[in-house]
Amino acid sequence: MLNRSISKWEMVLLFINGIIGAGIFGLPSKAFKISGVYSIAAILVCAVAVFFIILCFAEVSSRFDKTGGPYLYAYSSFGPLPAFLTGWLLFLTRFITYAALINLLITYLAVFSPWFLQPSSRIISIVFITILLAFINHVGVKTQPVSIMFLP
């Protein structure tokens, strides 16, 4: 079993960041463009719907002491094939979400300099930011000794 080094409140904040942070940058302008003044009500309705989804995940996660998230929940409920598909879909959505967010970041940086609008500059910026974030993540990971027990 994995060592759980994130506290309860760190985990709550991590999920809030993942849910709110992913859409908060680009969603309001797109929603206002489509629905005008009603976009505020539309965002609030969506927030309520997402809140109920979060409550469902909180309830289900409280019933497991192993790691695995949605894969584990699907495996326990529906078996190996749906769990496999759930795991892959979760994996793919992480990449797609990151691609959307990094593209949005570069689009917003273009407000400060038209250099970011050029295709080659956009690629350079995306690669540089990705490497920088990977390095920060690598440095920030706590290394803990791994103990391997051999059973007789």
In the chain, the number of structural domains is 2
**Any domain includes 146:** no
What is the rounded end-to-end Cα distance, in angstroms, of the chain? 20
* Amino acid at the residue 138: H
Per residue in 16-49, pLDDT tens? 666 666 566 677 777 888 888 888 888 889 889 8
Q: Are both 91 and 50 inside the same structural domain?
A: no
**Any domain includes 75:** no
Q: Are both 45 and 94 inside the same structural domain?
A: no
pTM of the model: 0.64
The residue range of the domain holding 8 is 1-63
Cα gap 41→112, rounded to integer Å: 31
